[in-house]
Chains A and B, each alone.
Chain A
Amino acid sequence: MKLSMPRVRGLGLVLAGATVVLAACGGGSSGSSGAVNGGTLIYGIDTDPTTLNPFEAGDVVSVRAFSFMFPNLFQADKNLNIVPDLASGMPTVSSDGLTWTVKLRQDAKWSDGTPITADDVVTTYQIEANANLDTDASFDWSPLTDPVTGIQKVDTYTVKFTLSKPFAPFLAVNLTGFIAPKEVYGKIDPAKMRTDPTNQTPTVTGGPFAFDKRVTGQEIDLKASTDYYGAQATLMKSIGADTALAATGGRPHFDKVILKVVTSTTAMANGLITGDLSMTPELNGDAIDAAKKGNGVQVFEYPDLAYYDVRFNDRAKVLGPDGKPSSTNGLFSDPLVRQAWTYIQDHDGMIKAATAGHGTPLGADVPPASWAYDKNAAPPYPKQDLTKAQSLLTQAGWTKGSDGILQKNGQKFQADFCVRSDKPQRVQAVTIMSDAASKVGMQLTPKPIDFKVFYHSKSSGGCGIFTGEFQLALAGWGLSLDPDDYTIFGCKFIRPEQSSTGSNYTGLCDQQLDAGMLKARSETGTSTADVQAKRKADYSAVQKRLRDLNIVYFLWSDNVGQGFVSKVAGIVAGGSGNDLNYADQDRNVQVFSQWYFKGGK
C-alpha cells in the first residue's frame, strides 16, 4: 500500500511520540545529571552474617551487613578524615578537653518516620557502655566519667560527653559508630540482647537501605529507604563525593541491595566476571588478579587498615608456665640483636614473594593512608646486609659454634617462629625469614598454630604470646581510624605482668615511648585541626622511637580489593585514587547512596 504524505506525517508524529514515551519509561528516574535511580546491587559476602543487630556484630561480615541500614554519628571521608554524618558539624570541645558537645542534624528520620534525636544517641552509647551487654562486639567507654551520666542529652538535638581526662582519639574511636533507635533497642534487656529477634530482622533502621527479608544461609534483601537524609548534595560534598551524583527524593540510587552468600572463593572471584555479583567488598591475593583480568570488571586495590609484624619477646628472660621469669634468656632482648634482624631480612623482597605482590611494605604502625603517617620518621628498612648483621650479632656476644648455630654463654640461638596456620601468606613469610636468619646462624623453626590457640599458653598448644613464653611470632593487628596504639606498646598493658587483658606482648616498657603515646592521646587545642596537627608531630616521635628500639619488626599491610561490575558508577576513591577503605566496615554509610548503575539497571 502506498502511503500518502499526510499518512507519512501522521506516522512520523506517532513514532516520535512513542519514542518520547519509551525514553521516559526506560532507565528509571534521574537523581541529577549522570546518576540514575534503579537496579539491584548484588553484594557478595563469604558467610552468612551471624547477626543484623549492630550491638552484637563482632565479625566483619555482620558489620558489613548492618552498615547499609544504620547511620553513624560521624564517618570517614575518602581520605579517612573524620567528618559529620548524623552530626550537623564537628564536635565542640572544651579547652581542657573534657567536655565534648555534638549537635545533630534535624532532618534525619528512622524508617518508621520518627525523627532521629539526642535520645537515640544517648541510648545507643549507654547500651554499649552497659556492663551487662552480652555481645561479641568491642565497645570501650572507659574515657567517660561514668557510663550513664557521662553521656547527657542537652536538648532534642544536642548531646554532651564528659570525659575523666583528655582523650584525643575520642572522636575517631568512640563517635564514628552506628546509632540505633531508642524505641527498639532501648527496650531490650542488654543481658538478653544476644538472643533478641532483632538479631535476625531489624525492624526500624535509618540508613540508606532498610531491611526487607532474609533467607538464612542464602541472602539478605534490603530495599531503598524512602526518606534518607544522606541522599543530598551537601552531604555528598562533606564526604568528598561528587555532588552531581547525589540522589534526590530522599532515596539512594539503587532500588535494592541483595547481600548474597557465596562461600566459595572461586565463585566469589568469578562472580563479577559472570555477572552473578555486582560487587565484592573483599578480594584478596590471586582473586584480585583474576577479577582484574575479567571483562566488564573494575577493581580498586589498596592497603588494608591492618598490618602484620614480627613480635619479639623483648624480655631479658622469657616467662615460664608459672608466669615467672624462666631460666631461658630472651633471644631478642638485646637491641643489637633486633637491629641485626633488620639487616638479615630482605624486607621488601620477602613481602613481595610472600604476598605475590599484593602487600604494601610498612616501616611503622601507621599506614600511609593515615594523616599521622610520617615517612621520614619511619623510613624503609635497610637493605639486606648479612655482613653488617653478623657484625652486630658479634657485638652482642653471639658467635657461631661448630654446628654453625649462634651461641652465647651456653645458649644456642634456637627458637620456634610462631605463625597462624590458616594464613598461607604469613606462613610463607615466616619460612623466608627463617631461611634468611639461618644464614647468620639463627636456627628458627616455623611453627604454624591454629588461630584459636595461637595466642594462648604453650601448655594449651599455643605459642605462649599471652603468657610471655614465646621468643618471636608473626602477628597481625586491625587498625581503627585513629593512629593510637597505646594498648599495644604501653607499659601498663604489658601482659601478663601488668595486665591480664593487655595487648603489649613484647614485655618492653620504654618510658620515652610511653610518654610520647600518652601525650598524643591527651592533646587538646583550639580546634580539631589544631589537635590533629599536634598529634601528628607526637606520632612522628612515636614512630621514630619504635624504629630506634626495633621493639617489633613491621612487615606489611595486605592489599585488598573491592570489585565492581563496570556498570556500577559513582565510585569515588581516596588516597592515590584507588583507596576505598572508607567505604567498608561501617566507616561510611552515605557512600552506598551515591553509587548507581549506568542506565539505571
Chain B
Amino acid sequence: MTFYIIRRVGVGLAVILLMSVIFFALARLTPGVPFSAGENPRANQQLILNRIHRLGLDQPWYTQYPSYLRALLRGDLGDSYFYHQPVTTLLEQRVPNSVLLYGVATILAIIIGVPLGVVAATRQYSVFDAITSVISYIGFSMPSFILGIFLLTVFAVWTKISFGFGLPLAGMHTGGEDDLPDLLLHMIMPVTALAILSIAQYSRFMRASLLDVLHQDYIRTARAKGLSAFKVNFKHALRNAVIPLITIIALSAPVIVQGAIITEGIFSWPGIGQLAFQASVIRDYPVILGVVMMVAVVTIVFNLVADIAYAAVDPRIRY
C-alpha cells in the first residue's frame, strides 16, 4: 500500500505539471488580450501596450511559461490582473464560500438520496419506487439555471409580494448582517438548487448498485440461512453496494472547490465559480490558471483518497 501511494503521488505530480503546460498554453492561445481600450476614446492606449509588454503577454506562450513554472514551484500563483490582489488571497476568500455551499448540498444529498435509493431498491416496482424514479428523472432533466430562477422568482419575489415574506434574493448575508440564522436563510435556495440534482443522482445510483448486489448468490444464501431482511439488506448488501457510491462522491469533491458557476451567479453567492467565470470573461490569466491548478490538485488528491477508501471498505482490494 505504501509503495502504491508513493507511486500514485509521483504520477499525480507529473499530471499536474502536464496540466499546467496545457492550460497555460490554452489560456495564452485564446484570442484577445486581457487589456483593451474598450469603447473609451480617451483611453491611453500606449499605457495598455506598455502593460502588455511588461507582463510579457506579447511574447509566445512557450517563452512565458518558464517564469510561470518557477513561481508555481514556489507556491506563487501570481497577482490578479484586475483584482489588485494575489491569486492565493482571492482563492482563500472564495473557496470557503463554495465549500460551504456545495458541502452542505452534498451532505444533504447523501442524507436524502442514499436512503431513497435503498428503499427504492428494497421495494422494487412498488409505488414508492415509481415515485422516486419520476422525481429523479425530473431532477436529472431540470437545467440548474431554470431551477435556480424558478426558486428565486417563486420563493423570493412572488411570496414577498403576495404574503409579505420571502427568502433573501442574493448573497450570503443581508447587508450589514453576519449572523448564523441570516446565513442559513440565504443558503436555503442555492443549497436546494444544488442538492436536487445530486439527490436524483445518488438515489438512482444507490438503487442500481443495491439491486445488483441483492441479486448476488451470497445474498440468496444469506436469506436461505434465515437471516432477517434487515441484516441481509443493511449488513451484507448495503456495505458492498455503497462502494461504487464512495467513488462517485469522492470524484465529485473537486466540484465542491470549483464551485457552481450558474448557481452562484443566480444567487449572487461569492464563491470560486463566480470568480472563475468573471476571470474567464475578462481574461484574468493568473486567476484562471490558479483556479484550474487548484481543481487539478484537489481532483488528483481525492482520486487517491477514493482508491484508499476503496481498499479500506473492500478487503478484496489490495494494492
Residues of A within 8 A of B (CB): 40, 42, 47-48, 50-51, 53, 56, 59, 134-136, 138-140, 173, 194-195, 199-200, 215-219, 221, 256, 258, 260-264, 266-267, 270-271, 273-277, 295, 306, 450-453, 455-456, 460-462, 475-478, 480, 485, 487-488, 500-501, 503
Q: Does A56 contact B84, Cβ atoms closer than 8 Å?
A: yes
User: How many angstroms from the CA of A476 to the CA of B265 in the assembled complex?
Assistant: 27
B37 to chain A, nearest CB (A): 8
Q: Report B-chain residues with C-beta under 8 Å of the C-beta of A217.
A: 93-94, 97, 270-271, 274-275
Q: Does A50 contact B166, Cβ atoms closer than 8 Å?
A: no
Q: Does A195 contact B265, Cβ atoms closer than 8 Å?
A: no
Task: State which of B47, B79, B171 has its C-beta within 8 Å of the C-beta of A195.
Answer: B79
Q: How large is the interface on B (under 10, 10 to 19, 20 to 34, 35 or more residues)?
A: 35 or more
Task: State which of B36, B41, B274 has its C-beta within 8 Å of the C-beta of A485.
Answer: B41
User: How many angstroms from the CA of A306 to the CA of B32 in the assembled complex?
Assistant: 24
User: How many angstroms from the CA of A276 to the CA of B83 in the assembled complex?
Assistant: 27
Q: Which of B253-284 contact A (CB under 8 A)?
A: 264-268, 270-271, 274-275, 278, 283
Instruction: For the A-B complex with A218-B173, A273-B160, A500-B45 known, give 19 more contacts whose Cβ atoms are closer than 8 Å.
Output: A40-B176, A56-B84, A138-B44, A194-B84, A195-B85, A217-B94, A217-B275, A218-B171, A221-B175, A258-B175, A261-B270, A267-B152, A270-B169, A306-B39, A451-B38, A452-B36, A455-B37, A460-B31, A500-B49
B166 to chain A, nearest CB (A): 6
B186 to chain A, nearest CB (A): 10
Q: Report A-chain residues with C-beta under 8 Å of the C-beta of B178.
A: 215
User: How many angstroms from the CA of A277 to the CA of B39 in the assembled complex?
Assistant: 30
Q: Does B149 interact with chain A (Cβ within 8 Å)?
A: yes
Majority-rule SS of A interface residues: loop
Q: Report A-chain residues with C-beta under 8 Å of the C-beta of B213.
A: none
List 16 interface pairs A-B (beta carbons < 8 Å), by A numbering: A50-B84, A134-B51, A195-B84, A216-B94, A264-B265, A264-B268, A267-B156, A270-B169, A274-B156, A275-B160, A295-B161, A452-B34, A460-B32, A461-B31, A485-B41, A488-B41
User: How many angstroms from the CA of A59 to the CA of B176 in the assembled complex?
Assistant: 25
Q: Does A274 contact B85, Cβ atoms closer than 8 Å?
A: no
Chain B positions 150 through 173: 1 when the CB is less than 8 Å from some CB of chain A, otherwise 0: 001100110011000010111111
Q: Report A-chain residues with C-beta under 8 Å of the C-beta of B33.
A: 452
Q: Does A267 contact B170, Cβ atoms closer than 8 Å?
A: yes
Q: Report B-chain residues with C-beta under 8 Å of the C-beta of A53.
A: 84
User: How many angstroms from the CA of A51 to the CA of B43 in the assembled complex?
Assistant: 18
Q: Report A-chain residues with C-beta under 8 Å of the C-beta of B271.
A: 217
Q: Report A-chain residues with C-beta under 8 Å of the C-beta of B275.
A: 217
User: How many angstroms from the CA of A261 to the CA of B42 in the assembled complex?
Assistant: 29
Q: Does B46 interact with chain A (Cβ within 8 Å)?
A: yes
Q: Does B67 interact with chain A (Cβ within 8 Å)?
A: no
Q: Report A-chain residues with C-beta under 8 Å of the C-beta of B94.
A: 216-217
Q: A452-B33, A501-B49 are in contact. Are A262 and B176 (CB under 8 A)?
A: no
Q: Does B40 interact with chain A (Cβ within 8 Å)?
A: yes
Q: Does A452 contact B41, Cβ atoms closer than 8 Å?
A: no
User: How many angstroms from the CA of A134 to the CA of B50 in the assembled complex?
Assistant: 10
Q: Does A267 contact B169, Cβ atoms closer than 8 Å?
A: yes
Q: Report B-chain residues with C-beta under 8 Å of the C-beta of A453.
A: 31-32
Q: Report A-chain residues with C-beta under 8 Å of the C-beta of B153.
A: 266, 270
Q: Does A200 contact B85, Cβ atoms closer than 8 Å?
A: yes
Q: Does A274 contact B169, Cβ atoms closer than 8 Å?
A: yes
Q: Report B-chain residues with C-beta under 8 Å of the C-beta of A262.
A: 169-171, 268
User: How many angstroms from the CA of A271 to the CA of B283 in the assembled complex?
Assistant: 30
User: How many angstroms from the CA of A306 to the CA of B39 in the assembled complex?
Assistant: 9
Q: Which residue of B lies closest to A479 (CB)?
A: B41
Q: Does B44 contact A271, Cβ atoms closer than 8 Å?
A: no
CB-CB nearest 10 A-B residue pairs: A217-B270, A452-B32, A501-B45, A258-B175, A199-B84, A461-B31, A453-B32, A276-B169, A503-B41, A262-B170
Q: Does B32 contact A450, Cβ atoms closer than 8 Å?
A: yes
Q: Which residue of B lies closest to A296 (CB)?
A: B161
Q: Does B32 contact A260, Cβ atoms closer than 8 Å?
A: no
User: How many angstroms from the CA of A38 to the CA of B264 in the assembled complex?
Assistant: 33
Q: Does B23 interact with chain A (Cβ within 8 Å)?
A: no
Q: Does A136 contact B39, Cβ atoms closer than 8 Å?
A: no
Q: Does A221 contact B40, Cβ atoms closer than 8 Å?
A: no
Q: Does B82 interact with chain A (Cβ within 8 Å)?
A: yes
Q: Which residue of B lies closest to A486 (CB)?
A: B41
Q: Does B49 contact A266, Cβ atoms closer than 8 Å?
A: no
Q: Report A-chain residues with C-beta under 8 Å of the C-beta of B83.
A: 50-51
Q: Which residue of A lies closest to B168 (CB)?
A: A276
User: How many angstroms from the CA of A480 to the CA of B40 in the assembled complex?
Assistant: 9
Q: Report B-chain residues with C-beta under 8 Å of the C-beta of A456.
A: 31-32
Most buried by B among A51, A450, A452: A452
Q: Does A477 contact B36, Cβ atoms closer than 8 Å?
A: no
Q: Does A273 contact B161, Cβ atoms closer than 8 Å?
A: yes
User: How many angstroms from the CA of A453 to the CA of B178 in the assembled complex?
Assistant: 42
Q: Report A-chain residues with C-beta under 8 Å of the C-beta of B274.
A: 217, 263
Q: Report A-chain residues with C-beta under 8 Å of the C-beta of B270.
A: 48, 216-218, 261
Q: Report A-chain residues with C-beta under 8 Å of the C-beta of B149.
A: 266
Q: Does B45 contact A267, Cβ atoms closer than 8 Å?
A: no
User: How many angstroms from the CA of A256 to the CA of B90 in the assembled complex?
Assistant: 27
Most buried by B among A53, A135, A136: A136
A354 to chain B, nearest CB (A): 17
User: How many angstroms from the CA of A5 to the CA of B306 in the assembled complex?
Assistant: 85
Task: State which of A47, A51, A140, A462 has its C-beta within 8 Å of the C-beta of B44.
Answer: A140
Q: Does B266 contact A264, Cβ atoms closer than 8 Å?
A: yes
Q: Which residue of B lies closest to A489 (CB)?
A: B41
User: How many angstroms from the CA of A455 to the CA of B32 in the assembled complex?
Assistant: 10
Task: State which of B31, B82, B84, B166 has its C-beta within 8 Å of the C-beta of A274.
Answer: B166
User: How many angstroms from the CA of A135 to the CA of B35 in the assembled complex?
Assistant: 11
User: How many angstroms from the CA of A57 to the CA of B205 in the assembled complex?
Assistant: 50
Q: Report A-chain residues with C-beta under 8 Å of the C-beta of B34.
A: 452
Q: Report B-chain residues with C-beta under 8 Å of the C-beta of A295.
A: 161
Q: Does A47 contact B278, Cβ atoms closer than 8 Å?
A: yes
Q: Does B42 contact A140, Cβ atoms closer than 8 Å?
A: yes
A585 to chain B, nearest CB (A): 12
Chain B positions 285 through 318: 1 when the CB is less than 8 Å from some CB of chain A, otherwise 0: 0000000000000000000000000000000000
Q: Report A-chain residues with C-beta under 8 Å of the C-beta of B39.
A: 306, 475-478
User: How many angstroms from the CA of A451 to the CA of B93 in the assembled complex?
Assistant: 29
Q: A264-B265, A478-B39, A501-B46 are in contact. Are A51 and B84 (CB under 8 A)?
A: yes
Q: Which residue of B lies closest to A191 (CB)?
A: B54
Chain B positions 128 through 166: 1 when the CB is less than 8 Å from some CB of chain A, otherwise 0: 000000000000000000000100110011001100001
Q: Does A276 contact B176, Cβ atoms closer than 8 Å?
A: no
A263 to chain B, nearest CB (A): 5
User: How many angstroms from the CA of A243 to the CA of B275 in the assembled complex?
Assistant: 44
User: How many angstroms from the CA of A460 to the CA of B31 in the assembled complex?
Assistant: 6
Q: Which residue of B lies closest to A194 (CB)?
A: B84
Q: Does B31 contact A452, Cβ atoms closer than 8 Å?
A: yes
Q: Report B-chain residues with C-beta under 8 Å of the C-beta of A51.
A: 83-84
Q: Which residue of B lies closest to A258 (CB)?
A: B175
User: How many angstroms from the CA of A460 to the CA of B57 in the assembled complex?
Assistant: 14
Q: Does A218 contact B51, Cβ atoms closer than 8 Å?
A: no
Q: Does B267 contact A218, Cβ atoms closer than 8 Å?
A: no
Q: Does A274 contact B160, Cβ atoms closer than 8 Å?
A: yes
Q: Does B84 contact A264, Cβ atoms closer than 8 Å?
A: no
B147 to chain A, nearest CB (A): 13
User: How many angstroms from the CA of A199 to the CA of B172 in the assembled complex?
Assistant: 23
Chain B positions 13 through 41: 1 when the CB is less than 8 Å from some CB of chain A, otherwise 0: 00000000000000000011111111111
Q: Report B-chain residues with C-beta under 8 Å of the C-beta of A258.
A: 175-176
Q: Does A270 contact B268, Cβ atoms closer than 8 Å?
A: no
User: How many angstroms from the CA of A476 to the CA of B37 in the assembled complex?
Assistant: 12
Task: State which of A173, A276, A475 has its C-beta within 8 Å of the C-beta of B42.
Answer: A173
Q: Does B157 contact A270, Cβ atoms closer than 8 Å?
A: yes
Q: Does A263 contact B156, Cβ atoms closer than 8 Å?
A: no
Q: Report B-chain residues with C-beta under 8 Å of the C-beta of A135.
A: 47
Q: Which residue of B lies closest to A212 (CB)?
A: B176
User: How many angstroms from the CA of A195 to the CA of B157 in the assembled complex?
Assistant: 40
B286 to chain A, nearest CB (A): 12
User: How many angstroms from the CA of A138 to the CA of B161 in the assembled complex?
Assistant: 44
Q: Does B171 contact A219, Cβ atoms closer than 8 Å?
A: yes
Q: Does A200 contact B84, Cβ atoms closer than 8 Å?
A: yes
